[in-house]
Homo-oligomer: A and B are copies of this chain.
Amino acid sequence: MAKQIRYDHFLHGGDYNPEQWLDRPDILKKDIEYFKKAHINTVSMGMFSWAVLEPEEDRYNFDWLEDVINNLYKEGIYTILSTPSGARPKWMADKYEEVLRVDPDRTRRFFGGRHNHCYTSPVYREKIYNINKKLSEHFGKHPAVILWHISNEYGGECHCPLCQEKFREWLKEKYGTIENLNSSWCTTFWSHTYNSFDQIESPSPKGENALHALTLDWKRFVTDRTVDFMRHEISAIRAGGSELPATANLMYDYDGLDYKKFKDVMDIVSWDNYPSWHKKDEYTTAVDGAMQHDLMRSIRKAPFLLMESCPSATNWKPINKLKKPGMHLAASLQAVAHGSDSVLYFQLRQSQGASEKFHGAVIDHYGGDDTRVFREVTEVGEALEQIREIVGSEIKCQAAVLYDRENDWALKDAQGPRNEDMHYQECVQKQYRALRRKGCNMDIITMEHDLSDYKLVTVPMAYMFYHGYAEKLCTFAENGGTLVISYWSGLVDETDKCYLEGTPHGLMEAAGIRTEEIDALYDWEENHGIPETGNHLGITKSYTCKNLCELAKVSDAEVMMRYSEDFYQGYPVLTHKKYGKGHVYYVAADMEAAFYEDFLGRAADEAGVDTPLDFVPEGVSVTTRETEDTEYLFIQNFAGKTETVSVSEEYEVIYGTDSENMSPLQTRILKRKK
């Protein structure tokens, strides 16, 4: 069972690299003074300190770190301690080549960068085990240390012979016999049949790269290897005696790993959020970040930590824009609104050199506290203290949208119908945004999530159905749930093998339709969905569709909308069927966002999904967190102009103005007894 994580206050602070300033004690001292001033109560350390912590093989040097931890702790500042596996010392790479990663073309990388190690290498595993254990022994019971931060932004893959061998073992365990693997992978195609597991190699641009089942299993293996490596890291910490909880910082929509597999290995989810504010309209950026917050929270269906965010401009994007006044506070509170128990930054003090020296920081090269950024960070610290009672509260959702990484992998690797872009994430996000617009909390779920808590579940572009997943969806609808299926769903099983005898597999009866063909549109083409008079939900407007238009044959469903053009004019765009105690809707085309707001808004009402407000103006974001007896209501105005948001009288303001007229970027937080 996971360690219980529950802080009695929000964590505020972030990445801190005192090892860069050991020759400047005046600066280290000044830092603490500034932290206090900015209401910073937590720092993350050690992430990239391996070369300082173990400057030569088996010679450890922890004193400087202990001093810093103690000095901070004296001033009430806690430490999140990292394991240093994210970047290894040069001496190790020089002595043990095997710790470095091998690329898909089978050439080994040279020392450099980060994320450049083999997860399988016995040497690397031994080295990280030793230092993690020592760190645990040394700091694991220090009262200042509150959490283990395992490695940094796990990612990437290694194709070395050691990893190849592990991959073969993994496959053997999964498939048992080579005949079973051949059959599951359809290797007869292009004569790619394997005679034995020994013959299998990882995908490569210089070799096998179009056997989708191989690619898919390789990606799964990479996730499993990474999880296994993380378990290994934690086992060293446990061996060192520390029982503190552990996390790993995840990344925005990262498709190199299937994060759902990290659910059990980490005690609390944390992630790094770097939105590009002021590039598009603020609400669009806000929704995009909100979906990721919800995705991260849904992994464990529990509060998470915002482990990194930028107090100012980043330095690694094409254009690194300043945050306008108020943006930093709004973005920080948005994380809390979606379930974060922290606002942490990369970085507290800017490094003087190397590749991230111009990445925004609480304290910049100038080194003063009389900066705009320092003032805005301080405001966040003050706000978090003001709303301290909210820490640890939960988020309850009655609606969920399926966004599964395995589906994403399979769908994108498949050839056809639209290799240019299938617009999978966009489709998910259009559905998410439509429901978020109503002010209802949302989970972002995978095929493994239990559905029984929800009233409404949408399943956009669910190309891959695990065996049994269709039954799970049917049961959900039969029991009274509203199920929204879309085009390009239920085509293949978990080995990317096509289901025969019609699609969406296992749902043709429930939806009352079968798909016959799918048309791909050029970017300059469009079609339209025209509502049928008197349709089930009373939709009256027409909407545009693009990219993909499925041709479905109705067996037993109400056609609610039909195509207006092309040879499939009159074919269904939206259908409905009452199924068991619930409803099943089918969307046949890639509809515009406004369609989903209209359709899903009505479907959510029909499904009885609760919302805290009667009306939410466009551009305003609404979420709730709750404890056993209290509900906290977050209202944030990302609309770009003043909006009036009426709230029922039972709510009491705990942060922000009393007025219901909210200026741009303003946040109000209210509460009511349940």
Interface residues of A (CB under 8 A from B): 17, 19-20, 23, 48-52, 55-56, 84, 87-91, 94, 103, 105-107, 109-114, 183, 185-195, 199, 201, 204, 206-213, 279, 312-322, 324-325, 350-359, 365-367, 371-373, 414-420, 491, 495-503, 514, 516-522, 551, 566-567
Contact = CB atoms under 8 A, between A and B. Distances in A.
B201 A567 contact: no
Given A185-B353, A199-B94, A357-B498, A420 B207 contact: no
A56 B516 CA distance: 40
23 contacts: A17-B189, A51-B187, A51-B188, A51-B192, A52-B188, A87-B190, A103-B206, A109-B206, A111-B201, A112-B211, A187-B354, A189-B354, A189-B356, A190-B354, A312-B517, A316-B419, A320-B520, A322-B519, A322-B551, A357-B415, A366-B502, A371-B516, A372-B517
B520 A20 contact: no
Given A51-B191, A90-B193, A188-B19, A418 B113 contact: no
Given A51-B191, A209-B112, A366-B500, A353 B186 contact: yes
Contacts of A522: 279, 319, 321
Nearest to A91: B195
Given A110-B208, A189-B351, 8 more contacts: A51-B191, A91-B195, A312-B517, A318-B420, A320-B417, A322-B517, A356-B415, A366-B516
A354 B90 CA distance: 42
Contact of A193 (B89, B209, B317, B414): B89
Given A48-B191, A109-B207, A110-B206, A321 B517 contact: no
B51 A498 contact: no
A498 B365 CA distance: 7
A500 B352 contact: yes
A500 B365 contact: yes
Q: How many copies does the complex hold?
A: 3
Given A110-B204, A316-B415, A416-B359, A498 B195 contact: no
A269 to B, nearest CB: 25
Contacts of A84: 191
A113 B521 contact: no
Contact of A353 (B213, B320, B519): B213
Interface of A is mostly: loop
A113 B204 CA distance: 10
A571 to B, nearest CB: 11
A502 B370 CA distance: 12
The residue in A52, A88, A351 that gathers the most chain B C-beta atoms within 10 A of its C-beta is A351
Contacts of A495: 353
Contact of A186 (B89, B188, B352, B497): B352
Contacts of A356: 189, 415
Nearest to A505: B365
A366 B501 contact: yes
A320 B418 contact: yes
State the 7 A-B residue pairs at the shortest beta-carbon distance, nearest first: A186-B353, A110-B207, A315-B416, A112-B208, A189-B354, A112-B207, A358-B416
Contacts of A366: 500-503, 514, 516
A315 B491 CA distance: 15
A324 B103 CA distance: 44
Contacts of A501: 365-367
B20 A208 contact: no
A301 B107 CA distance: 49
The residue in A94, A190, A192 that gathers the most chain B C-beta atoms within 10 A of its C-beta is A190
A414 B358 contact: yes
Contact of A113 (B199, B209, B213, B313): B209
A537 to B, nearest CB: 29
A186 B52 CA distance: 13
Contacts of A19: 188
A318 B420 CA distance: 5
A355 B211 contact: yes
A219 to B, nearest CB: 16
Contact of A55 (B91, B111, B193, B314): B193
A193 B87 CA distance: 11
B415 A315 contact: yes
Contacts of A320: 416-419, 520
Contact of A17 (B188, B192, B496): B188
